[in-house]
Amino acid sequence: MTWERTWHWLIDRIDEYEAHAYAYQHARYFGRTKFQVVEILETAKFGKMLILDGKIQSAALDEHIFHETLVHPAMLMHPNPRRVCIIGGGEGATLREILRYPAVEEAVMVDLDEEIVALCREHLPEWHRGAFEDPRVRLLHEDGRVFLREEPGDFDVVVLDITDPVTADFGPETYRVIRSRLREPGILALQALELNLGDWEDHAAIRRALRPILPHCRSYSTYIPSFRAEWGFLVVAATREVLYPSSSLLEDRFAARLGRAAAAAGGLRFYSPQIHGRLFTLPEDLRDQLEAA
Protein backbone atom coordinates (compact mmCIF):
# COMPACT_ATOMS: atom_id res chain seq x y z
CA MET A 1 0.00 0.00 0.00
CA THR A 2 1.47 3.34 -0.99
CA TRP A 3 1.54 6.34 1.34
CA GLU A 4 -0.96 8.24 -0.79
CA ARG A 5 -3.61 5.56 -0.31
CA THR A 6 -3.52 5.91 3.47
CA TRP A 7 -5.00 9.42 3.24
CA HIS A 8 -8.07 11.12 1.91
CA TRP A 9 -7.60 14.48 0.24
CA LEU A 10 -9.45 17.74 0.67
CA ILE A 11 -9.10 19.95 -2.42
CA ASP A 12 -9.58 23.62 -1.62
CA ARG A 13 -10.19 25.38 -4.94
CA ILE A 14 -9.19 29.04 -4.63
CA ASP A 15 -10.16 30.10 -8.14
CA GLU A 16 -9.93 28.73 -11.68
CA TYR A 17 -6.12 28.94 -11.56
CA GLU A 18 -5.26 27.72 -8.07
CA ALA A 19 -6.13 24.89 -5.67
CA HIS A 20 -4.55 23.47 -2.51
CA ALA A 21 -4.70 19.84 -1.34
CA TYR A 22 -4.80 18.76 2.31
CA ALA A 23 -4.34 15.19 3.51
CA TYR A 24 -6.79 14.05 6.17
CA GLN A 25 -7.20 10.79 8.00
CA HIS A 26 -10.92 10.82 8.77
CA ALA A 27 -13.94 13.06 9.16
CA ARG A 28 -14.99 13.78 12.72
CA TYR A 29 -18.25 15.16 11.38
CA PHE A 30 -19.95 15.54 8.02
CA GLY A 31 -23.44 16.91 7.56
CA ARG A 32 -25.62 19.78 6.47
CA THR A 33 -27.28 22.45 8.55
CA LYS A 34 -30.18 24.56 7.34
CA PHE A 35 -27.68 26.97 5.81
CA GLN A 36 -24.46 25.16 4.86
CA VAL A 37 -22.50 21.95 4.45
CA VAL A 38 -20.24 21.25 7.45
CA GLU A 39 -17.10 19.12 7.61
CA ILE A 40 -14.79 18.71 10.59
CA LEU A 41 -11.74 16.79 9.41
CA GLU A 42 -8.69 15.41 11.20
CA THR A 43 -5.90 16.58 8.90
CA ALA A 44 -2.33 15.35 8.82
CA LYS A 45 -0.63 18.72 9.07
CA PHE A 46 -3.07 21.14 10.69
CA GLY A 47 -5.04 18.99 13.12
CA LYS A 48 -8.79 19.44 13.30
CA MET A 49 -10.11 21.64 10.51
CA LEU A 50 -13.53 23.23 10.07
CA ILE A 51 -14.80 23.46 6.48
CA LEU A 52 -18.04 25.16 5.47
CA ASP A 53 -19.39 24.71 1.95
CA GLY A 54 -16.01 23.37 0.91
CA LYS A 55 -14.02 26.36 2.20
CA ILE A 56 -11.59 26.16 5.11
CA GLN A 57 -12.65 28.32 8.06
CA SER A 58 -10.05 27.49 10.70
CA ALA A 59 -7.62 24.81 11.82
CA ALA A 60 -6.26 23.72 15.18
CA LEU A 61 -2.66 24.56 14.32
CA ASP A 62 -3.21 28.23 13.54
CA GLU A 63 -6.73 29.38 14.44
CA HIS A 64 -5.14 31.50 17.18
CA ILE A 65 -3.25 33.48 14.53
CA PHE A 66 -6.44 34.35 12.68
CA HIS A 67 -8.59 35.14 15.71
CA GLU A 68 -5.98 37.09 17.68
CA THR A 69 -5.21 39.13 14.56
CA LEU A 70 -8.89 39.83 13.95
CA VAL A 71 -9.70 40.93 17.49
CA HIS A 72 -6.80 42.56 19.31
CA PRO A 73 -5.83 45.48 17.08
CA ALA A 74 -9.34 46.96 17.33
CA MET A 75 -9.70 46.18 21.03
CA LEU A 76 -6.45 47.96 21.81
CA MET A 77 -7.00 50.87 19.45
CA HIS A 78 -10.29 51.70 21.14
CA PRO A 79 -9.87 53.84 24.29
CA ASN A 80 -12.40 51.89 26.35
CA PRO A 81 -14.22 48.97 24.68
CA ARG A 82 -17.03 47.92 27.02
CA ARG A 83 -19.74 46.64 24.68
CA VAL A 84 -18.82 44.48 21.70
CA CYS A 85 -20.85 42.81 18.96
CA ILE A 86 -19.66 39.83 16.94
CA ILE A 87 -21.48 38.99 13.72
CA GLY A 88 -20.78 35.35 12.85
CA GLY A 89 -17.95 33.71 14.76
CA GLY A 90 -19.55 30.28 15.11
CA GLU A 91 -16.46 28.55 16.50
CA GLY A 92 -16.48 30.80 19.56
CA ALA A 93 -12.82 31.72 19.15
CA THR A 94 -13.47 35.38 18.34
CA LEU A 95 -15.69 35.48 21.42
CA ARG A 96 -12.88 33.85 23.42
CA GLU A 97 -10.49 36.64 22.47
CA ILE A 98 -12.99 39.43 23.23
CA LEU A 99 -13.61 37.98 26.69
CA ARG A 100 -9.93 38.29 27.61
CA TYR A 101 -10.70 41.94 28.36
CA PRO A 102 -12.05 42.29 31.92
CA ALA A 103 -13.50 45.72 31.10
CA VAL A 104 -15.88 44.22 28.52
CA GLU A 105 -19.30 44.35 30.12
CA GLU A 106 -21.28 42.65 27.35
CA ALA A 107 -20.31 40.62 24.29
CA VAL A 108 -23.21 39.98 21.92
CA MET A 109 -22.59 37.22 19.40
CA VAL A 110 -25.05 36.92 16.52
CA ASP A 111 -24.67 33.85 14.33
CA LEU A 112 -27.48 32.89 11.99
CA ASP A 113 -26.69 29.17 12.07
CA GLU A 114 -27.58 27.74 15.47
CA GLU A 115 -26.59 24.25 14.35
CA ILE A 116 -23.03 25.22 13.44
CA VAL A 117 -22.56 26.87 16.82
CA ALA A 118 -23.77 23.70 18.54
CA LEU A 119 -21.42 21.55 16.43
CA CYS A 120 -18.46 23.80 17.25
CA ARG A 121 -19.30 23.72 20.95
CA GLU A 122 -19.27 19.92 20.79
CA HIS A 123 -16.38 19.20 18.44
CA LEU A 124 -14.07 22.22 18.79
CA PRO A 125 -13.77 22.90 22.53
CA GLU A 126 -10.16 24.04 22.04
CA TRP A 127 -11.50 26.92 19.96
CA HIS A 128 -14.09 28.38 22.35
CA ARG A 129 -12.59 27.20 25.68
CA GLY A 130 -15.90 27.65 27.45
CA ALA A 131 -16.46 31.20 26.20
CA PHE A 132 -20.17 30.60 25.62
CA GLU A 133 -20.67 30.06 29.36
CA ASP A 134 -19.33 33.50 30.34
CA PRO A 135 -22.12 35.55 31.99
CA ARG A 136 -21.18 38.57 29.89
CA VAL A 137 -22.20 36.76 26.69
CA ARG A 138 -25.52 37.16 24.88
CA LEU A 139 -25.77 34.56 22.11
CA LEU A 140 -28.38 35.09 19.40
CA HIS A 141 -29.27 33.14 16.26
CA GLU A 142 -30.65 35.53 13.66
CA ASP A 143 -29.50 37.59 10.70
CA GLY A 144 -26.83 39.93 12.02
CA ARG A 145 -27.93 42.71 9.70
CA VAL A 146 -31.48 42.56 11.04
CA PHE A 147 -30.17 42.49 14.60
CA LEU A 148 -28.07 45.61 14.06
CA ARG A 149 -31.02 47.47 12.53
CA GLU A 150 -33.29 46.62 15.45
CA GLU A 151 -30.87 46.62 18.41
CA PRO A 152 -31.53 49.75 20.50
CA GLY A 153 -28.09 49.94 22.10
CA ASP A 154 -24.78 51.01 20.59
CA PHE A 155 -21.43 49.22 20.52
CA ASP A 156 -17.83 50.29 20.97
CA VAL A 157 -16.48 47.60 18.66
CA VAL A 158 -18.22 45.49 16.02
CA VAL A 159 -16.38 42.45 14.67
CA LEU A 160 -17.40 40.72 11.44
CA ASP A 161 -16.24 37.09 11.51
CA ILE A 162 -18.24 35.74 8.62
CA THR A 163 -17.56 33.44 5.68
CA ASP A 164 -15.89 34.75 2.54
CA PRO A 165 -19.03 34.81 0.34
CA VAL A 166 -21.01 36.72 2.99
CA THR A 167 -18.11 39.15 3.45
CA ALA A 168 -18.04 39.76 -0.30
CA ASP A 169 -21.83 40.27 -0.37
CA PHE A 170 -21.85 42.94 2.33
CA GLY A 171 -22.22 46.38 0.83
CA PRO A 172 -22.94 50.03 1.63
CA GLU A 173 -26.42 49.38 3.07
CA THR A 174 -25.05 46.92 5.62
CA TYR A 175 -22.13 49.17 6.50
CA ARG A 176 -24.49 52.10 7.07
CA VAL A 177 -26.42 49.96 9.55
CA ILE A 178 -23.18 49.06 11.34
CA ARG A 179 -22.15 52.73 11.37
CA SER A 180 -25.44 53.63 13.05
CA ARG A 181 -24.71 51.17 15.88
CA LEU A 182 -21.16 52.37 16.58
CA ARG A 183 -20.82 54.97 19.31
CA GLU A 184 -17.89 57.32 18.91
CA PRO A 185 -15.08 56.52 18.58
CA GLY A 186 -16.37 53.13 17.50
CA ILE A 187 -14.35 50.66 15.44
CA LEU A 188 -15.42 48.01 12.95
CA ALA A 189 -13.00 45.09 12.53
CA LEU A 190 -13.41 42.45 9.86
CA GLN A 191 -11.66 39.66 8.06
CA ALA A 192 -11.28 40.91 4.51
CA LEU A 193 -10.14 38.07 2.24
CA GLU A 194 -6.73 37.50 0.69
CA LEU A 195 -4.32 40.40 0.63
CA ASN A 196 -1.22 39.85 -1.45
CA LEU A 197 0.05 40.99 -4.83
CA GLY A 198 -1.68 38.07 -6.58
CA ASP A 199 -5.05 38.46 -4.82
CA TRP A 200 -6.04 41.89 -3.56
CA GLU A 201 -9.00 43.02 -5.70
CA ASP A 202 -11.71 41.61 -3.40
CA HIS A 203 -10.07 43.25 -0.39
CA ALA A 204 -9.94 46.55 -2.27
CA ALA A 205 -13.64 46.23 -3.14
CA ILE A 206 -14.51 45.98 0.56
CA ARG A 207 -12.46 49.12 1.25
CA ARG A 208 -14.30 50.98 -1.52
CA ALA A 209 -17.68 49.97 -0.11
CA LEU A 210 -16.69 51.15 3.37
CA ARG A 211 -15.09 54.50 2.56
CA PRO A 212 -18.27 56.53 1.98
CA ILE A 213 -19.66 55.39 5.37
CA LEU A 214 -16.59 54.93 7.60
CA PRO A 215 -13.91 56.91 5.81
CA HIS A 216 -10.87 56.02 7.90
CA CYS A 217 -9.67 52.56 7.00
CA ARG A 218 -6.48 50.61 7.68
CA SER A 219 -5.64 47.34 5.94
CA TYR A 220 -3.41 44.81 7.64
CA SER A 221 -2.44 41.21 7.06
CA THR A 222 -0.66 38.12 8.26
CA TYR A 223 0.12 34.71 6.84
CA ILE A 224 -2.32 31.95 7.82
CA PRO A 225 -0.60 28.59 7.15
CA SER A 226 -3.80 26.55 6.75
CA PHE A 227 -5.12 29.11 4.25
CA ARG A 228 -1.79 29.04 2.39
CA ALA A 229 -2.18 32.78 1.98
CA GLU A 230 -1.38 36.19 3.34
CA TRP A 231 -4.78 37.10 4.73
CA GLY A 232 -6.27 40.57 4.91
CA PHE A 233 -8.11 42.34 7.72
CA LEU A 234 -9.53 45.83 8.14
CA VAL A 235 -10.10 48.22 11.00
CA VAL A 236 -12.45 51.06 10.09
CA ALA A 237 -13.71 54.10 11.97
CA ALA A 238 -15.31 57.51 11.51
CA THR A 239 -12.47 59.10 13.51
CA ARG A 240 -8.94 58.82 12.11
CA GLU A 241 -7.02 59.26 15.37
CA VAL A 242 -8.47 56.16 17.00
CA LEU A 243 -6.81 53.94 14.38
CA TYR A 244 -3.30 55.34 14.97
CA PRO A 245 -2.31 54.84 18.62
CA SER A 246 1.36 55.46 19.35
CA SER A 247 3.50 52.42 20.06
CA SER A 248 3.91 53.51 23.68
CA LEU A 249 0.14 53.89 24.14
CA LEU A 250 -0.42 50.49 22.56
CA GLU A 251 2.09 48.88 24.91
CA ASP A 252 0.54 50.59 27.94
CA ARG A 253 -2.94 49.44 26.98
CA PHE A 254 -1.73 45.92 26.29
CA ALA A 255 -0.15 45.68 29.74
CA ALA A 256 -3.13 47.24 31.51
CA ARG A 257 -5.86 45.35 29.69
CA LEU A 258 -4.28 42.01 28.86
CA GLY A 259 -1.27 41.48 31.11
CA ARG A 260 -2.88 39.33 33.77
CA ALA A 261 -6.04 38.51 31.85
CA ALA A 262 -4.16 37.05 28.90
CA ALA A 263 -1.94 34.96 31.15
CA ALA A 264 -4.90 33.67 33.14
CA ALA A 265 -6.67 32.62 29.94
CA GLY A 266 -3.68 30.71 28.65
CA GLY A 267 -1.80 33.63 27.15
CA LEU A 268 -1.75 35.12 23.68
CA ARG A 269 0.24 32.96 21.31
CA PHE A 270 0.63 35.33 18.37
CA TYR A 271 -0.39 38.94 18.89
CA SER A 272 1.71 41.46 20.82
CA PRO A 273 2.41 45.21 20.57
CA GLN A 274 5.59 44.28 18.72
CA ILE A 275 3.80 42.18 16.11
CA HIS A 276 1.19 44.94 15.71
CA GLY A 277 3.58 47.04 13.66
CA ARG A 278 4.39 44.12 11.37
CA LEU A 279 0.68 43.48 10.74
CA PHE A 280 0.16 47.03 9.48
CA THR A 281 3.33 47.21 7.39
CA LEU A 282 2.26 46.37 3.86
CA PRO A 283 4.78 46.10 1.01
CA GLU A 284 5.02 49.10 -1.27
CA ASP A 285 3.76 47.32 -4.38
CA LEU A 286 0.63 46.19 -2.57
CA ARG A 287 0.08 49.61 -1.00
CA ASP A 288 0.26 51.15 -4.44
CA GLN A 289 -2.41 48.78 -5.74
CA LEU A 290 -4.77 49.49 -2.84
CA GLU A 291 -4.32 53.24 -3.04
CA ALA A 292 -4.98 53.23 -6.78
CA ALA A 293 -8.05 50.98 -6.54
The set of catalytic residues is: 161
Mean pLDDT of 276-288: 95
Residue 262 pLDDT class (50, 70, 90 cuts): low
For the segment 33-71, what is each residue's pLDDT rounded down to a tens digit?
999 999 999 999 999 999 999 999 999 999 999 999 999
- Using a cut of 0.85, tell me whether the model's pTM lies above it: yes
Mean pLDDT of 162-170: 81
User: What's the CA gap between 39 and 56, in Å, rounded?
Assistant: 9
pLDDT of residue 261: 57
pLDDT of residue 1: 38
User: What's the CA gap between 250 and 29, in Å, rounded?
Assistant: 41
Mean pLDDT of 170-189: 94
The CATH class of 63-292 is alpha beta
Residues forming CATH 2.30.140.10 domain(s) in the chain: 3-57
User: What's the CA gap between 261 and 274, in Å, rounded?
Assistant: 18
pLDDT of residue 75: 98
Please say if the pLDDT value at position 20 is more than 70.
yes
Q: Of all helices (H) and strands (E), which one includes residue 261?
A: helix 247-264
Provide the terminal-to-terminal Cα distance of the chain, rounded to the nearest Å: 52
For the segment 80-134, what is each residue's pLDDT rounded down to a tens digit?
999 999 999 999 999 999 999 999 999 999 999 999 999 999 999 999 999 999 9
- In sequence order, the 6+-apart residues with CB closer than 8 A to the CB of 81 are 74, 75, 101, 103, 104, 156, 157
Say what percent of the chain tops pLDDT 70: 96
For the segment 251-260, what is each residue's pLDDT rounded down to a tens digit?
999 999 997 6
Residue 4 pLDDT class (50, 70, 90 cuts): low
* Listed range (18-32, 45-59, 208-222, 253-267) with the worst mean pLDDT: 253-267
Q: Tell me, what DSSP letter sits at residue 132?
A: G
Residue 266 pLDDT class (50, 70, 90 cuts): low
Provide the phi-psi class of 28: left if phi over 0, else alpha when psi is between -120 and 50, else beta: alpha
CATH of domain 3-57: 2.30.140.10
User: What's the CA gap between 195 and 272, in Å, rounded?
Assistant: 21
For β-strands 47-52 and 55-59, DSSP reports them as antiparallel
